[in-house]
């Protein structure tokens, strides 16, 4: 299974396909969560119907770190 990484100014977001339903899953990687203690990472995730939507909307989290 191939994975796609969106590398932004604030975070890296991994995109991959859910094998059960075919949805695109976006999950934050390598983004410190300022609201938690040091060492914890952001747990932001989202599901999208297609890769175009996923790359467009998940890029905002990668660039800004906002949900």
The residue segments making up the domain with residue 29 are 4-64
pLDDT at position 26 is 95
- Number of compact structural domains in the chain: 1
What is the value of pTM for the model shown?
0.79
pLDDT at position 42 is 82
DSSP letters along 10-28, please?
S-EEEEEE-TTT--EEEEE
DSSP state of 46: E
Low-confidence ranges of the chain (pLDDT < 70): 1-2, 32-40
pLDDT at position 43 is 85
Sheet of 4-7, strands arranged across: 4-7, 12-17, 24-29, 45-48
pLDDT at position 38 is 54
Q: Please report where in the chains the tokens 């990687």 appear, as a residue.
A: 29
Residue 46 contacts residue 59 (beta carbons within 8 Å)? no
């Amino acid at each position: 299974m191939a994975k796609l990484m969106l590398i932004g100014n604030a975070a890296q977001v991994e995109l991959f396909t859910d094998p059960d339903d075919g949805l695109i899953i976006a999950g934050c990687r390598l983004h410190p969560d300022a609201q938690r203690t040091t060492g914890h990472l952001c747990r932001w995730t989202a599901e999208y119907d297609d890769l175009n939507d996923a790359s467009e909307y998940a890029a905002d989290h990668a660039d800004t770190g906002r949900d």
